[in-house]
Chain A
Amino acid sequence: MIPAIAIDRLSKTFGTSAPALDKVCLSIQPGEMVALIGASGSGKSTLLRHIAGLIPGDSESGSITVCGMHVQSAGRIERQIRKVRRNIGFVFQQFNLVGRLSVMTNVLAGKLSEIPLWRSLPRVFTRNERSEALKALARVGMAERAHQRASTLSGGQQQRAAIARALVQGAKVICADEPIASLDPESARRVMEALSLINREDGTTVVVSLHQVGFALRYCGRVVALHLGRVVYDGPAEDLTTERLRGIYGSDSDLDFGDAEPNVAAPAIKRPMAGFQPAMAGAMG
């Protein structure tokens, strides 16, 4: 099977500082839901932005492919990157919606790579495209907000609209970069539910970087932990022991389990979460 995401020896150095990513190799199978954890500055965001081809790696890096298509190799972003990006939905920490456009138009922007310029520039969308956008909004529980300006939404609502944009895009892979870091616990839960729903129902591969370990353990079958730009753990969520987490975040740090499921998250560390997401078990290597 062609992996959804294949990363070969990706390195990235900003300026003269220590590498942000250091020979990262990662293979993610279609349909997986993977959490990317690690302390601030461990390279989570940088890694996700490389996968979408938003920044190029160092020249000695290997290649990154998404659904078998090259995103970049040896530090050069593919010429046909726009076609590749069509398969990659990106969900940003700051939502990155256009505040002055309606929620509907923001979601329809997911169609931009498919429609001709003469229709996209004057914002002419077909009835089908509009109903598809509405359906996507309905799936994330936002249908009634479709005609509001995006700037009038709360953070959690904006993030769900951003997920609807990725849905309309028909993305096979969704990269979510700290999607819940600026949200309150309830909004965060709803955003994670939306991502998890797409993963289960559509088989969309989801890679989500999270600051709160609790959410990672609750929603993702597989966890990849980064420390100083290196993969230090890659395996099932249930094998992540408190010891290992201390190693990832540093021994003196307070682990942030968030409010995902306070009554479950804490004990989950000691007791393996067997059978939590059985569908994922086969995909994990």
Chain B
Amino acid sequence: MRPANAISLADLEQPPRDTKKTLFYVLIYGIAFAILAWSWQGAEIRPLALIKDAGNMAEFGADFFPPNFHEWRYYLDEIIVTIHIAIWGTILAVIAAVPLGLLAAANIAPWWVHQPVRRLLDSFRAINEMVFAMLFVVSVGLGPFAGVMALFIHTTGTLAKLFSEAVEAIDPQPVEGIRATGANQLEEIAYGVIPQVMPLWISYTLYRFEANVRSASVVGMVGAGGIGVVLWEVIRGFQFSKTCAVLLMLIVTVSVVDLISARIRKLFI
């Protein structure tokens, strides 16, 4: 039953229609659709090709099965190398991201420090790890080390940014408590800031490690070591049953890494 003092929707007076607002929304939607249409052309999207070439794709798909696990030991070794690349790429990035993340935080460093540091980190992030991998293949030679360096630089960019955002979100009161004891600035950070951001930092690091396992499998394609090298070889050689085997093993690996890091993350939060 309706209580006596309840107000029904009809009782409420409708506000008058605001034509300016309506026009504004029409304009916004118009712009959004224009951008979508423009990019449709640029990206040469042809959904009909999916239907027209369905036979091709079915044939192509059929080549993948059954997967050829004949050389699984070789693939496994390379997957392990891939994980090694991801581990070192992440560890080096964490070591660099701790000081850089603190220097990029507006509540720790003055603007003439945090602004340049942030721009530096932007440039680390703006360039994809594939590009860094190609550059490092040229400078340090083919092999996993080029992959480690590529992941290291790119991950430093993302981790330091995430770290600094965590630092900017801390509660300033405990830091003031430490400051009031006569501690210096480094001690304020070690006692007041780091303990507060630690759970987030660990969480971000594990996320980046998962992402780096995926990235490490791709940087191999430009010759930076690991399973990517194998993947590139079998795709280029049209050996699709082998490609299928490698992809399946990659999927399992990435899932296992995700599961393990999720467990570790739970320990720290």
Contact = CB atoms under 8 A, between A and B. Distances in A.
A51 B191 CA distance: 23
B180 A120 contact: no
Contacts of B187: 112, 117, 120-121
Contacts of A54: 176, 179-180
A88 interface: yes
A169 B182 contact: yes
Given A99-B174, A100-B196, A100-B198, A113 B179 contact: no
Interface in A46-84: 52, 54, 82-84
A243 B32 CA distance: 70
Contacts of A90: 177, 180-181
A88 B180 contact: yes
Nearest to A115: B187
Contacts of B198: 100
A98 B191 contact: yes
Interface in B15-69: none
Contacts of A10: none
A74 to B, nearest CB: 22
Interface in B170-210: 173-174, 176-184, 186-187, 190-192, 195-196, 198-199
A96 interface: yes
A36 B191 CA distance: 30
Given A96-B173, A98-B178, A100-B195, A121 B183 contact: no
B181 A109 contact: yes
Contact of B182 (A83, A94, A121, A123): A83
Interface residues of B, number: 20
Contacts of B190: 120-121, 123
A86 B174 CA distance: 17
A208 interface: no
Contacts of B195: 98-101
B141 to A, nearest CB: 38
Contact of B181 (A99, A100, A113): A113
B176 A96 contact: yes
Nearest to A98: B174
A137 interface: no
A92 B173 contact: yes
A162 interface: yes
A110 interface: yes
Interface residues of A, number: 31
B180 A85 contact: yes
Nearest to B174: A98
A12 interface: no
Contacts of A123: 190
A162 B177 contact: yes
A98 B186 contact: no
A98 B196 contact: yes
A109 B196 CA distance: 15
A95 B180 CA distance: 12
B191 A85 contact: no
Contacts of A52: 180
A55 B196 CA distance: 24
Contacts of B179: 54, 85
A97 interface: yes
A94 B190 CA distance: 21
Contacts of B183: 82, 109, 112-113, 120
A99 B180 CA distance: 17
A44 interface: no
A227 interface: no
A165 interface: yes
A85 B178 CA distance: 11
Interface of A: 52, 54, 82-86, 88-90, 92, 94-101, 105, 109-110, 112-113, 117, 120-121, 123, 162, 165, 169
Report, nearest first, the 3 A-B pairs whose CB atoms are least far apart: A96-B177, A113-B182, A90-B180
28 contacts: A52-B180, A85-B180, A85-B181, A86-B181, A88-B180, A89-B181, A90-B181, A92-B173, A92-B180, A96-B180, A97-B174, A98-B177, A98-B195, A98-B196, A99-B174, A100-B199, A109-B177, A109-B181, A110-B181, A112-B183, A112-B191, A120-B187, A120-B190, A121-B186, A123-B190, A165-B177, A165-B181, A169-B181
